[in-house]
Amino acid sequence: MKSNKKIQHLFLSLVVLVGFSSLAQDISVHDPVMIKQKDTYYLYCTGRGISVFSSKDLKNWKKEPAIFKEKPVWADSVAADFKNHIWAPDISFHNNTYYLYYSVSAFGKNTSAIGVVTNVTLNANDPNYKWVDHGIVVQSYPNRDEWNAIDPNLIIDENNVPWLSFGSFWDGLKMVKLNPNLLSIAQPEEWYAIAKRKNTPLSGGSSAIEAPFIFKKNGFYYLFTSWDLCCKGKDSTYKIAVGRATSVTGPYVDKDGNLLNQGGGTILAKGDENFFGVGHNSAYTFDGIDYLVYHGYDAKQNGKSVLVIKELKWDADFWPYL
């Protein structure tokens, strides 16, 4: 009987909450990113050692082994108290290799670093499956940097040049050029400030911004960001804003022409009767359909953070909407 209850609970935890147009999943996630290998989707998110799920249909998800069984060997030098709770991964495929960037940080401090691991396959049953940690790519230091080295996102521009965007709160979101091997910062260093919140009455007194994700489409680079406060259940005020640019380094502008690095941003999604807040999104094209993937604090489950997948659509002026 106990075994049957466990199976029933597992089944219920994977049901779709709303219809196909909004593939919200009753699996608890934060900061989801996704990729497809052959016929399988893999989902990576914040968790102990980085949480991993797999699915054949974007609806039913199976728990997979975490990336790190033990915390990265270098992590204690950055944030000794983080206890292998790794934040906000980013996954992509280049050079016949999977690159997964991840964040190690102390909460509320900019003692942070972004590392990267690589693998030739995502299938944990493949004999070639092995994550190799290449250590720190970017690190922030208190009293030196007015930015935070978390929430990485890799983008390859039209000239095949790799860039890493990242950042949270502090002085906003940054971007730096990487070497062709995607493992370190290119020399001489090229840095850009791509988005920032202004602490004004218009923003409700908030300067909270994090989680950049850049999606190339329609001849533009679309920069998605998350505003306000996550991780507070029913008190969450998280929302998704967007701007775009014709160059990967910007300047990014919103629908009204406001610069994102001066506080601009067009709201794409925010809390409603279904979710107290939504944010930390990623965007993809799978089988010819564009998707926005993010987490939301479910109003029907007292603010539990669940996976949301929605089709991403485009208006006549090539601005995204859901």
Q: Which residues contact 120 (CB under 8 A, 6 or more apart)?
A: 96, 97, 98, 128, 129, 130
**pLDDT, position 13:** 34
Q: Which of 64, 90, 151, 210 is catalytic?
A: 210
Interatomic CA distance for residues 247 and 111, integer angstroms: 30
Instruction: Mark residue 229 as left, alpha or beta (left: phi above 0; alpha: psi -120 to 50; beta: remaining).
Output: beta
210-219: burial string, b at 16+ Cβ within 10 Å, e else = bbbbbbeeee
Query: What pLDDT, on a 0 to 100 scale, did the predictor assign at position 20?
Result: 34
Residue 15: per-residue pLDDT: 31
Query: Is 210 designated active site?
Result: yes
- pTM, to two decimals: 0.90
CATH of domain 2-321: 2.115.10.20
Residue 79 confidence (pLDDT): 85
Those residues whose C-beta lies under 8 Å from the C-beta of residue 172, and which sit 6 or more positions away, are 147, 193, 194, 195, 196, 197, 209, 261
**How many CA atoms does the CB half-sphere of 144 hold within 13 Å?**
6
Token digits of residue 244: 């775009």
How many CA atoms within 13 Å lie on the side-chain side of 155? 26
Tally Cβ neighbours within 10 Å of residue 65. 12
Residue 203: phi, psi to the nearest 5? -95, 10
Query: Are the CB atoms for 88 and 152 separated by under 8 Å?
Result: yes
Question: Would you give the distance in Å from CA 125 to the centre of its chain?
Answer: 26
Task: Please report, in tens digits, the pLDDT of each residue of the chain (322 residues total).
Answer: 334 333 333 333 333 333 334 454 568 899 999 999 999 999 999 999 999 999 999 999 999 999 999 999 999 888 877 889 999 999 999 999 999 999 999 877 788 999 999 999 999 999 999 999 999 999 998 888 888 999 999 999 999 999 999 998 888 999 999 999 999 999 999 999 999 997 655 555 568 999 999 999 999 999 999 999 998 888 999 999 999 999 999 999 999 999 999 999 999 999 999 999 999 999 999 999 999 999 999 999 999 999 999 999 999 999 999 9
Q: According to the model, what pLDDT value does residue 200 have? A: 56
Residue 31: active-site member: yes
Amino acid present at 40: T
Q: What is the pLDDT of residue 233?
A: 86
Which of the residues 31, 228, 254, 298 is marked catalytic? 31
β-strand pairing of 275-286 with 289-298: antiparallel
